[in-house]
Each structure stands twice: as structure tokens, then as C-alpha cells.
Structure 1
Amino acid sequence: MEVYSLVMHQNTGQGISSLSNTQLEDVIAEIEQAIEWHQLWYKNLLRCLIADTPANEQDLSDNAHNLCRFGQWFNKLPEQTLNLHPYFSEIASAHQKMHQGAKVLLSLKESNSAIPVNLLDQFHTDLDSLRDYFEAINDELCELLHTRDPLTGATNRTNLVENLQKEHELCKRKSLSCALIMIDLDHFKQVNDEFGHGAGDKVLIALVKCIKSHLREYDQLYRYGGEEFLVCLPQTELEGAKSFSERLRAGIAALKIEIGNDKHIYVTGSFGVALINADDDIEAAIERADQAMYQAKKSGRNRVFVA
């Protein structure tokens, strides 16, 4: 399945982060294929310029950037896909400019004219620019995939502390509050024991989907442990974080999770809420949210406790 059919229905407001792990893998594969096509095109261009082989007529066209294999693929991408990342528009411009330069070089070669060094250098500058965009967007996609939990799609703990420190610094500069919420499913071991780990996986996937549906674009969700998740709410006071947690708690309790053979199960979660204080150590703030969550469990589960 090609990338344009995979991503055309995504919420472009969230950019590439709106893609699932499977979609990210497919987009990466498509871009790597595009890079391979372009390398092959460049080798053929060098044969024409150096070994005096006949030029491809398409490369002498004013529309060459739309006729190469990469151009044909790129032009099939819908606007929704191109809006997933600003580098897509940069790639379009760099690709067209590079082909224009290639046409000039090939035209000079066809007329047996000498190729000025400055034109050759400019062509390679444009080529390098295109490659840089390719590599940058591919690296970003791979980094996003690397920091994703493969089961649920929530961010894993790889860069958790670093990300929260950046958010903390931003809040301090703007004199804003930032809240953390630790969420732990109640009696999750019983789900695995009674219905199997496949059912447990479905519960975790449904849980993350529910949490994400409540988040703002700039909120962050991490899979902190097996059935434990951490939410970061920037620009949020304690009371707002508590209200958010209560809404989410009710949303999770209302989930009807299908586990096969017309069987459904219901789950609840315990919530611990804490603020990241101005002079806080991030790990200390996480610990306060974690301890608050344990207090919620001790108090009867399926409830919110504020540190």
C-alpha cells in the first residue's frame, strides 16, 4: 500500500505524530524507496555527463521534475499528506530546482559546449539540499518510531525526563503551571489471568485511544510501565488537572472493550495528580504523581488523588 493511501485520512493538525506505528513504518519505507530511485537517476545522469551516453529525453524537458519516478510518486501525494510535515514542500522546490540545473548541464553536453564549473557546483549544491531534506524527514520519522511503544502507540520512556525538563523550562519562562497525571489500571493482572494476554493488550490499546481522545495537541502521553501511563498537561493548574482526570476516569470506566466471541470487559483506573513546581526535579515530580496514584488505589481505586 502506498503512502498516499495510508495517510490521506489523518488529522493534519497533529502532523506526523498523528500516524500510527504501522503507517510510520510504511512512510519510512516509501521515502527510502524514493531516495533509492533518486540515487539511480543521479547515476544515470553522471553516465550522460561523463561517459557520453545518450541523455534521457525526459531529463531535457522543462517538466522533468514531474516525469522522473520520484516526481511521479510525489505528485500522487494528496495535500493532506504534504501538510504532515513542512519539509514536503521544501522537497518539492529543491527537487524542481535540481532538475532545472540538470537540464542545463545536459543541454550543454548535447550541444558539445563546455560545462562551467559554477553551474556544476550549483547543481551539486541543489542536489545536496534535496538529500538533506530527505535525510532530515526520514531521521525524524525514525526517531518518532523509535520513541513509540509498539503495542499502544504511546510515547515510551526513552526521552521522558528530557522532554519533561524542556516543558518545565518553558513553563518557568512564561510563569505557567505544568501538571503530571499518573494513571494505573485497576486489577489489570486479573484481566490477563482470566482472559489471557491478548485481551490485556486490547485493553491497553483501548485505554490509550481513550486517553488520546481527551488530550490537547500539545499534551504528552507516555507508557510508563506495564499498565501505568503518565500524562503531561502543560499550562495547566492543579484544579484543571484534577477536573481533566475526573473526566478521563469516567471515560475509561465507560469503555466497553470487546475481547472476542461477543465478550466485553470493563476496566477502571486510579489517578495521581501533581504539579511540577518551579524549583522541581522532574523525577521528584513524577514520584509525587506516582505516590498520589497509590493513594488513590489505597482509597478504593477508580478515583483521583491529588498530591
Structure 2
Amino acid sequence: MSNTQLEDVIGEIEQAIEWHQSWYRNLLRSLIADIPADDQDLSDNAHNLCRFGQWFNKLPEQTLNLHPYFSEIASAHQKMHQGAKVLSSLKESNSAIPVNLLDQFHTDLDSLRDYFEAINDELYELLHTRDPLTGATNRANLVENLQKEQELCKRKSLSCALIMIDLDHFKRVNDEFGHGAGDKVLIALVKCIKSHLREYDQLYRYGGEEFLVCLPHTELEGAKSFSERLRAAVATLKIEIGNDKHINVTGSFGVALINANDDIETAIERADQAMYQAKKSGRNRVSVA
């Protein structure tokens, strides 16, 4: 999902929250003032009839898969409407509303709001820490994230590897085919890298055509083997740049471990120097620090 699509999802969520706030205000008016309850609130299917429910039920699978809380929202929303129906039914029959039922309704309402606040916070964080062109994570939290991996490795006596990747002769691509073609190359490279990563591996756009991969729980030899597979995959990419034109690219890879007592910048520098050694050795190859 692109950053633009992510912004659209965040906007839709904020609009949906406003719809639900409006519904809640109308429900309170009905419960407190001498105003008849909305027929929809008395329905067993009320959670599907409100504007929020109609919007939620039409969300594409791609959006629902963005965060596990979306599945929690479905049940929390239904439970809240069931509580609202009980309150409205009591009001319509001129019966007293027990405090415990009112408290439970507000607990369910707060739970729904908490889910949406958590989703919005995480989507905003994702939006502001992701490179808008390629979708790789930007450098905003790079050092902090790698320090966390380093601490985990210390506690569990595990290894963590870094791979610095730099496209070979990328300036030539921009000069010969234009920056639009260069953008397509970067997008294709990131897609290729991501297809080889495990769920907990991390990919950062380090700068320009340079990318950094963090491989937790990986020894040096394993990182080297992974880099060789990735190098071969990049070399076989056939990137369409328009007008039935395709180009091929290669990359140079530098591999290093994050040592227990490393300064993170030092570990990154070792991977970077190994990558430059790969370039000096002829490019399209892997070098290990």
C-alpha cells in the first residue's frame, strides 16, 4: 500500500470516527431527553445499519489486513450496539436504566475508541517512517531500532547481521533513461528485496540508491548466503521503463555483524565499507567485513 493510499485510509478512519461520534450524541439525546429512539438503534442488526457499520463492512481486504485490531473492531462495534439497543429499549418502555448497563455500554464504547486510536497512531507512525517512493522504512528510527535488536541479541546470545546494498552504475540509469526510470528501478529493487525477507527482517532506505537490511538471529555465513541469493535475484530483474524498454541492474552487497559491544554506527560503517570493497572488486558481488 502506497503512502497516498495509507493517507486515504487514515482519512477514512477519522471520518468514520466522526460518524460514530455523531451517532453517539444522537443516542444520548434520545436517552436523556424526551426524544423517541431511532428505529435503527432498536434493530438486532444495528451495527450494520449505522454509517460507521456500512463503511466498515465495505472495507477492502487490503485495508483490513493492515492491522489485527480491525477484526477486534468488528466484534467491539457489534457489542456496543447491542448495549445501545438494550438502553434504547428500556427508555422506550419507560423503564429505569440500571447504572451497571449504562456503565457497561460506555466501557464498550471506550474499547472501540481505544482500538481506533491505536490503529491511527500506528498508521501515522508508519506513514512518517516510510520512504514515500519505495515503501522501505526511512532512516528516522534506524539507530534506535537497531539498538533494540542489539539488546535482544545480547540477552539471548544471538547474532544479528547487516547488509548494505548499493545499485551499480545507478547514475547511468538516471542519465540515460531519466529519473522516472530510476524511480522504477528503485521500486523494483525494494519489491525484490522484500520478497526474500522474513517477517521480522527489516529494510531501510539508507540514502539514494543505498539500502540497509537487518537480519536478526542470523550468523555471518547465513547472511552471506542470503546476500548471494538476493544478488542473483536482483541481477535477473527485467525492469520495464516504458515504450517496451527493459533494463537490467546489479547491486553490490556488504555484510557485517552487529557485535555485542558495537556502537551501531560502527556496525553500519563496517557493512558500508564491505559494500565498497564489493564495488572495488568488480561490482555485482558480495563482500564480508
Q: Would the TM-score normalized by the shorter structure come out above 0.5?
A: yes
Return 58-67 or 175-184, whichever deviates more. Answer: 58-67
Moved more, 20-29 or 166-175: 20-29
Alpha-carbon offset, residue 218 of structure 1: 1.3
181-190 or 77-86: which moved more?
77-86
Quick check: 88-97 or 178-187, which moved more?
Answer: 88-97
User: What SS class does the counterpart of residue 115 from structure 1 fall into?
Assistant: coil
User: Is the CA contact (8 Å cut-off) linking 2:2 and 2:132 kept in structure 1?
Assistant: no
**Cα deviation, residue 89, structure 1:** 2.6
Worse-superposed segment, 50-59 or 285-294: 50-59
* Matched position secondary structure for 2:207: coil
Q: CA deviation at 1:286?
A: 0.6
Instruction: Find the counterpart in structure 1 of residue 25 from structure 2.
Output: 43
Q: CA deviation at 1:69?
A: 2.1
Q: How does 1:172-251 map to 2 (within 5 A)?
A: 172-251=154-233
- Post-superposition CA distance 1:122-167 (Å, at most 9, x none): 2222211111111111211121121110000111111111111111
Partner SS state of residue 232, structure 1: strand
Give 1:78 deviation, angstroms: 6.8
Q: Percent identity?
A: 93
C-alpha deviation, 1:108, in angstroms = 2.2
CA 1:86–1:262 in 2, change beyond 3 Å: closer, same or farther?
A: closer
Q: Aligned partners of 2:122 and 2:153: how far apart in 1?
A: 25
Matched, 1:105 2:100: no
Q: Deviations over 1:48-104 (max 9, x none)?
A: 123322211110122322222222333345777655533123212221221122122
1:247 shift after superposition: 1.3
Counterpart-to-counterpart distance in 1, 2:19 and 2:172: 52
Cα distance in 2 for residues equivalent to 1:222 and 1:34: 32
Alpha-carbon distance between aligned partners in 1 of 2:278 and 2:140, rounded to the nearest angstrom? 27
Is the 8 Å Cα contact of residues 9 and 63 (structure 2) preserved in structure 1? no
Structure 2, gaps ≥5 residues long = none
**Matches of 1:252 and 1:79 in 2, distance apart?**
30
- What is the aligned-residue RMSD (CA, Å)? 1.8
Q: Distance in 2 between matches of 1:125 and 1:202?
A: 49
Partner of 1:176, secondary structure, is: coil
Change (3 A) 1:83 1:252: closer
Q: How many residues are aligned here?
A: 289
1:265 aligns with 2:247: yes
Q: Distance in 1 between matches of 2:237 and 2:119?
A: 37
**3-state SS, counterpart of residue 146 of structure 2:** helix
Q: Equivalents in 2 of 1:200, 1:75: separation in Å?
A: 39
Q: What is the CA–CA distance in structure 2 between the aligned matches of 1:258 and 1:82, rounded to whole Å?
A: 31
CA distance in 2, matches of 1:52, 1:187: 75
Secondary structure at 2:228 match in 1: helix
| 1:171 positional shift | 1.9
The 8 Å contact of residues 80 and 105 in structure 2, kept in 1 or not, is answered as yes
SS of residue in 2 equivalent to 1:52: coil
The one-character-per-residue Cα deviations of 1:152-195 (angstroms, maximum 9, x if unpaired) are 01111111111111112222222111100001111111211121
TM-score with structure 1 setting the length: 0.88
Q: What TM-score, normalized to structure 2?
A: 0.93
Distance 1:273 1:48 in 2: 66
Structure 1 unaligned blocks of 5 or more? 1-18
Q: Does 1:164 align with 2:141?
A: no
Of the structure 1 ranges 191-200 and 59-68, higher mean CA displacement relative to structure 2 is found in 59-68
User: Structure 1 residues 152, 78: CA separation in 2 closer, same or farther (over 3 Å shift)?
Assistant: closer
- Distance (Å, rounded) in 2 between the aligned partners of 1:154 and 1:81: 19
